Amino acid sequence: MAEVHRYRGHTIRLRIQRSSTTLYWRARGTIEYTEGGMYWTYIMTVAIDTFTTEAEAKHGFLQQAQKWVDDQPGFKGLP
């Protein structure tokens, strides 16, 4: 089951799983981005699949997703 997080009016869905071959944790998910009444879904993958704990994978994914939202033109300079 995917976890759901809200960030600045957007929905971040993530799924964390442990690799059976490497025993590392990885996170995958989507950002449901809303702008001007329109919605877009972006698929995100974390560049590093070598998290040693589930919490690290979740934190890493959420940081990357939030940075992606912050880097969008409508959010430059907003708190």
The per-residue pLDDT for range 3-34, each reduced to its tens digit, is 999 999 999 999 999 988 888 998 899 999 98
What pTM was computed for the model? 0.83
Confidence of residue 47 (pLDDT cuts 50, 70, 90): low
Q: 10 has which bridge partners? A: 7
Residue 60 has pLDDT above 70, yes or no: yes
Q: What is the DSSP string of 33-78?
A: EEETTEEEEEEEE-S---BSSHHHHHHHHHHHHHHHHHTSGGGTT-
Q: What is the pLDDT of residue 12?
A: 96
What Å distances lie between residue 31 and 7, 18, 23, 71, CA to CA?
10, 21, 26, 13
The per-residue pLDDT for range 26-45, each reduced to its tens digit, is 889 999 998 888 889 999 87
